[in-house]
Every structure is written in structure tokens, then in C-alpha cells.
């Protein structure tokens, strides 16, 4: 019998494979396709204090092996989430991680405080969003990371995860999050990137810069995780370009306690249950009972 359950950043998950924020909505659409109770957890779409309409179209732009997005954090706002989405999500049978975005450090604190009193299992601070103004720098500036995490920590009794951008001084930012009381670090969000619409002769997105995700970023995201694990005491949740159980295993061998899958869900909506199954089969094939003997073995 294989036991895939993991303890990550103050939260026990039935397995280490989590749907990444913004790529799985609030889980209910996917629940029509399969039992999303098979997932380790779901990170919600990034929640803000007020509802946001998001950016004008186009919002997605395919690239070879990758995807550029400029969604602009469209979401119904934290109140509608708490009233309408969260009760539905609680019925899905998996952990709920609320991903949040504040315009200011104080907004992060307010969101963390409200969600800490709710039924979510953990809170993930999104500290970079390449497609909203100001979003690019936050997670790359250790002082700003420390301030936001510190403010949230004081009001949040739930596990607090900090999601960083892959750019800037990621190690210093992660260490600042650790000192300020984070329970885990998610590495990473999308890369700042650009596409030009050659018919129009201008950037494809109205906001110009978008976020690159998908298989194109996997080796870089993997390197970020590998380096962070060597220096941090906190557990690291790997994210970036994972589309198969082999990818997930690479991140776990690099030392990740859990992984998040984003763009992979757009390529194959059944991607996550296939990854969970693939990990279990791989362990069983080697007569191993859990991931303990594998995690970090590549160091």
C-alpha cells in the first residue's frame, strides 16, 4: 500500500499534487469532469478585497511549449468567495488554499484576517502578478516580502504560504518570508514575458507584459526549487511547467514537499489525477510505501 500523504507548511494533504491558483477556478467546473477529491488540494483564483473584472481581451497567448497570460486577477472578491464559492468548495473533499492579492500590504493583512476566520485550510500570499500594475516587484524585494508576511502572520492562525516570483533575488525573498513567519514557500509564479501581435505591430496584451507558464519554464522553476531547498528550513512547494508524474517526481527529488499544477490542466483536464496515479504506481513498482525516501534525493 502506497501512502502519498504529506505534511506541508502546517497542513496535512492526502497527496502532494495541488491545483495552482488561477488555473482551476474554484474547482467546481472540474468537478463535473472527475472527482476532484482525488487532488491534494486546490488553490483558489487570486482573491482581492473588491471584485475585479480583469484585463480586456486577449488574455491568453500561446507560445511554443508555453502560455502567456494577462488575466488581471479577475475574481468575485473575498466576500462573494466566502458566501458562495467556499461552501461549494468545502463539498469537494479536498484541501482549500485561498490565494490572495492585495494592492497594499494592509490589504493583504485585511484579506488574511478575514480568511483566517473562515473555513479555508491555508492562505497563500501571491506576491507577484506580472499583468497588474506594481505586481512585478513585490515578491522580488525582501523588505517588502518581510513587511507583507509579517503583517499577515500577526492576524492569521491558518498555515501561511508565500508564493514568490521566479525572478529577482528569490533566495533572499524566501529567507525574508521565513524570518517573518511563513509556513511554506511556493516557487514559483509566472515569468514576466512579452508577445507582439505582428499584424498590429504592438504588444499582444493591452497591459503589454504577461506571465509565462507551462513546460517552457519547467527547468528554470526546478532549478529555483533545487536551490531554495538547500538554504531554507521551510518546506518548498514546487510549481512551474509540471504536466506529468515524471515532472512532479523531478520536483520532489529536488526537495519539494508538494507540487502545484497550472497550465497542465489546460493541456489535459485530467492531468492532476493522472499525476497522482503515476506517482503511486511508480512508488509501488519499486516497493516503496511513501515519498520520504525520494524527497530531496537529487542533492
**In terms of CB distance, is 165 or 255 closer to ligand FMN?**
165
Query: Minimum Å distance from CB 11 to ligand FMN?
Result: 17
Query: Minimum Å distance from CB 185 to ligand FMN?
Result: 13
Cis peptide before 58 (omega within 30 of 0): yes
Selection from 170, 183, 190, 162 nearest residue 23 by Cα: 190
Contact 187, 225 (CB under 8 A): yes
Burial class (CB in 10 A: 0-12, 13-18, 19+), 76: middle
Query: Minimum Å distance from CB 210 to ligand FMN?
Result: 9
Cis peptide before 188 (omega within 30 of 0): yes
Buried b (16+ CB within 10 A) or exposed e, 160-170: bbbbbbbbbeb
Query: Minimum Å distance from CB 240 to ligand FMN?
Result: 5
List, in order, residues 6 or more apart from 266 with CB less than 8 Å away. 23, 67
For residue 212, the cross-strand partners are 68, 191
| Residues in binding contact with ligand FMN, number by CB under 6 A | 26
Residues 100-139 as x/- pattern, contact with ligand FMN by CB under 6 A: --------------------------x-------------
**In terms of CB distance, is 238 or 255 closer to ligand FMN?**
238
State which of residues 190, 226, 238, 258 lies at the interface with ligand FMN (CB under 6 A).
190
Please work out, in degrees rounded to the nearest 5, the angle formed at the alpha carbon of residue 165 by the alpha carbons of 42 and 222: 75
Quick one: which H or E segment has residue 192? Answer: strand 191-193
Contact 34, 183 (CB under 8 A): no
The C-alpha atoms of residue 136 and residue 260 are separated, in whole angstroms, by 21
By beta carbon distance, the residue nearest ligand FMN is 22
State which of residues 30, 42, 45, 258 lies at the interface with ligand FMN (CB under 6 A).
45
State which of residues 241, 257, 276, 279 lies at the interface with ligand FMN (CB under 6 A).
241
Asked if 67 touches ligand FMN (CB under 6 A), the answer is yes
Asked if 71 touches ligand FMN (CB under 6 A), the answer is yes
Selection from 102, 100, 88 nearest residue 26 by Cα: 88
Active site residue 129: yes
Q: Which one from 43, 65, 129, 239 is the annotated catalytic residue?
A: 129
Query: Minimum Å distance from CB 43 to ligand FMN?
Result: 7
State which of residues 39, 242, 252, 283 lies at the interface with ligand FMN (CB under 6 A).
242
Catalytic residue set: 129
Chain positions contacting ligand FMN, by CB under 6 A: 20-23, 45-46, 67, 69, 71, 73, 99, 126, 163, 189-190, 213-214, 217, 239-242, 261-264
Amino acid at each position: 500500500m502506497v501512502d502519498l500523504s504529506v505534511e506541508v507548511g502546517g497542513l496535512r494533504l492526502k497527496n502532494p499534487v495541488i491545483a495552482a491558483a488561477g488555473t482551476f477556478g474554484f474547482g467546481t467546473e472540474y468537478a463535473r469532469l472527475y472527482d476532484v477529491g482525488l487532488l491534494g488540494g486546490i488553490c483558489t483564483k487570486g482573491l482581492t478585497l473588491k471584485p475585479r473584472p480583469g484585463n480586456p481581451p486577449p488574455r491568453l497567448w500561446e507560445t511554443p511549449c508555453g502560455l502567456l497570460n494577462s488575466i488581471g486577477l479577475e475574481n468575485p472578491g473575498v466576500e462573494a468567495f466566502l458566501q458562495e464559492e467556499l461552501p461549494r468548495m468545502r463539498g469537494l473533499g479536498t484541501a482549500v488554499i485561498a490565494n490572495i492579492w492585495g494592492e497594499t500590504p494592509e490589504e493583504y493583512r485585511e484579506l488574511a484576517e478575514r480568511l483566517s476566520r473562515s473555513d479555508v485550510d491555508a492562505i497563500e500570499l501571491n506576491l507577484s502578478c506580472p499583468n497588474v500594475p506594481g505586481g512585478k516587484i513585490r515578491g522580488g524585494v525582501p523588505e517588502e516580502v518581510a513587511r507583507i508576511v509579517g503583517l499577515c502572520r500577526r492576524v492569521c492562525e491558518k498555515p501561511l504560504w508565500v508564493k514568490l516570483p521566479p525572478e529577482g533575488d528569490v533566495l533572499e525573498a524566501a529567507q525574508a518570508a521565513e524570518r517573518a513567519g511563513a509556513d511554506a514557500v511556493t516557487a514559483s509564479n509566472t515569468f514576466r514575458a512579452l508577445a507582439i501581435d505582428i499584424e498590429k505591430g504592438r504588444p499582444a496584451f493591452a497591459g503589454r507584459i504577461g506571465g509565462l507558464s507551462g513546460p517552457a519554464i519547467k527547468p528554470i522553476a526546478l532549478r529555483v526549487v533545487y536551490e531554495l531547498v538547500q538554504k531554507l528550513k521551510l518546506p518548498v512547494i514546487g510549481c512551474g511547467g509540471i504536466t506529468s508524474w515524471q515532472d512532479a517526481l523531478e520536483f520532489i527529488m529536488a526537495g519539494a514537499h508538494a507540487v502545484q499544477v497550472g497550465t497542465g490542466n489546460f493541456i489535459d483536464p485530467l492531468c492532476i489525477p493522472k499525476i497522482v496515479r503515476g506517482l503511486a504506481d511508480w512508488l509501488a513498482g519499486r516497493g516503496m510505501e511513501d515519498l520520504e525516501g525520494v524527497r530531496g534525493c537529487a542533492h
